[in-house]
Amino acid sequence: MESQSNRSRRRLVGQPLLYAISVFASLGVFLFGYDQGVMSGVITGPHFIKFFQNPTALEVGTMVAVLEIGAFVTSVAAGRVGDIIGRRGTLFIGAVVFAIGGAIQTFTTGFWVMVVGRIIAGCGVGLLSTIVPIYQSEISPPEHRGALACMEFTVNIFGYASSVWLDYFCSFFDSDLAWRVPLSAQCGIGIFLAVGSLAIPESPRWLLDTDRDEEGMRVIADLHGGDPDDVIAKAEFAEIKERIMIERESGEGRTYAVMWKRYKKRVLLAMSSQAFAQLNGINVISYYAPRVFEEAGWVGRDAILMTGINAIIYILSTIPPWYLVDRWGRRIILLSGAVVMGIALAATGWWMYIDVPETPKAVVTCVIIYNAAFGYSWGPLPWLYPPEIMPLTVRAKGVSISTATNWAFNFLVGEMTPILQEVIQWRLYPMHGFFCACSFVVVYFLYPETKGVPLEEMDAVFGEEELEERLEDEESERSSLVSRRSRRSRSSISRMPLNKPQTSESAGFFGRLFGGSSDRREYQPIRGDE
């Protein structure tokens, strides 16, 4: 007993471990956000323009958007890689590749070297942007899974804001350091993430899926406080392992073809969430905000300053979903965000069209409102939704497809925006407002609510009766331990009260801060309590 206590003191367990993993894994999306924002301020700098000999709109679009080519390729491959070497190993490789790409960009000698560096960095981003949401969803308790994913997105936007403000401060350098220094910061963060990824635990669901049960049980026990004899930890182990065995016994393959045939609706919903996140116009702002503000009348460094102010509001807007996503649910946040974003984009185009003295300030206001609405809704939720709705057997592959969709549309928007800004001008913004309206319709009619649903029970949300019946047949063979675990794990979504009220102390920080609603009418557990 004393030895076990000493071991617990030497390592993080319970909620401190969960928080530490979440914060550290979020560095992966910090890098993603940083790389999205760093080019926005760099491409308008006089030293950058001079070094690259007054690049055309096509060349600027290529340097910005070519990152998505690398990200697209590796996000497709990440599903396979994540299943073979695990979530932690994929995180390590992604961080190393990203650092190498950042180094090439920093010491670039010309346009084509910059393009190569951006593609390589994109390969790292593709791995990180696929594996971090999967890893986060697999270690998070269902009642706080949404909040943790939204916090992760806040770190992503903090990375974006950090790059914008670094661009602004470095713009005072009267040399090529004005753009080389912001690009070099990618290397240090990537190396730190690579080294630190070796210290975090592997996903327990991946360990159990690869029959490394002892290691998986150890991680589950650590997440529950460090006691390997903890009743709840053992029950969670049993429930996850049982689900894995049921899926194996079904005889289903784990290929992309089987995933598409068996879970087509889920795959399409996951892909649509990421596609609309881009079509709704965010990267018109993220990649080209200084150019947007220059169009509206702000000049030079002032355009970067406006971008920095916008980025601060953007960060703040990502905080309300921490509290709301597990109370209101996913649907209402996506729907309300689409409405506000569409109105803001239409207003942006209108102010540019009339071109009056008030236009510069009005455009800044509209862009800030748009960014705030996106940060509250279509920013975090498309990264939360796909790993939630995909089953464990094909989760990595399903999320890789949805993330690849993100990067495909990301590239499309990034490549075309400079050209469309010149060709259709103010009409660009109402065009993206139209896509916001489309996203509202799709969510309203097709997206099921997933708040509070354990990952192992997502089939009930999609009405897959065959699997429900199979699980019900297995119920009679389940041990009383698993039955007790089922009641406890679903206490936040069940109509039955808890056997033991959860106190503020036992709920921990997230329980006290977010306290989710006890009303879970959108979903009822597959198996009722005995």
The total number of structural domains that make up the chain:
1
Residue with more model confidence, 476 or 399? 399
Q: What tens digit of pLDDT does each residue of 402-430 get?
A: 988 988 888 888 778 778 878 888 888 89
Q: Summarize the chain as % helix, strand, coil (round to 5).
A: 75, 0, 25
**Residue that the structure tokens 């490549």 belong to:** 415
Whether 474 maps to a domain, the answer reads: no
Give the whole-angstrom CA distance, residue 163 versus residue 178. 12
- 253 confidence band (pLDDT: 50, 70, 90): low
244, 209 contact by CB (below 8 A): yes
Least confident of 208-222, 366-380, 459-473, 485-499: 485-499
Give the whole-angstrom CA distance, residue 375 versus residue 145. 18
98, 186 contact by CB (below 8 A): yes
Coil vs helix vs strand at 52: coil
pLDDT of residue 157: 84
Q: Report H helices in 109-203.
A: 111-139, 145-170, 177-196
pLDDT of residue 275: 93
pLDDT of residue 464: 60
pLDDT of residue 288: 64
pLDDT of residue 481: 43
pLDDT of residue 238: 87
- 462 confidence band (pLDDT: 50, 70, 90): confident
Whether 187 maps to a domain, the answer reads: yes
Whether 443 maps to a domain, the answer reads: yes
Q: How many helices (H) and strands (E) does the chain have?
A: 26, 0
Mean pLDDT over all residues of the chain? Answer: 79
**Percent of the chain whose predicted confidence (pLDDT) is above 90:** 20
Amino acid occupying residue 217: M
**Percent of the chain whose predicted confidence (pLDDT) is above 70:** 82
Q: What tens digit of pLDDT does each residue of 470-489 get?
A: 545 554 444 444 444 444 44
pTM of the model: 0.71
352, 429 contact by CB (below 8 A): yes
The tokens describing 320, both together, are: 């309300």
Whether pLDDT at 344 is above 70 = yes
Q: Which domain holds residue 446?
A: 14-246+256-450
Whether pLDDT at 456 is above 60 = yes
Whether 488 maps to a domain, the answer reads: no
Q: What is the DSSP letter of 523?
A: -
Whether 502 maps to a domain, the answer reads: no
We report the CATH number of the domain holding residue 167 as: 1.20.1250.20
Coil vs helix vs strand at 262: helix
Give the whole-angstrom CA distance, residue 528 versus residue 530. 6
Whether 481 maps to a domain, the answer reads: no
Whether 444 maps to a domain, the answer reads: yes
277, 406 contact by CB (below 8 A): yes
Q: What tens digit of pLDDT does each residue of 322-338 get?
A: 888 888 889 999 999 99
Whether pLDDT at 496 is above 60 = no
Q: Provide mean pLDDT across the span 213-217.
A: 89
Whether pLDDT at 510 is above 70 = no
pLDDT of residue 18: 79
Burial of 146-184, coded b for 16+ CB within 10 Å and e otherwise, reads bbbbbbbbbbbbbbbbbbbbbbbebbeeeeeebbbbbbe
pLDDT of residue 418: 76
Whether 493 maps to a domain, the answer reads: no
pLDDT of residue 323: 87
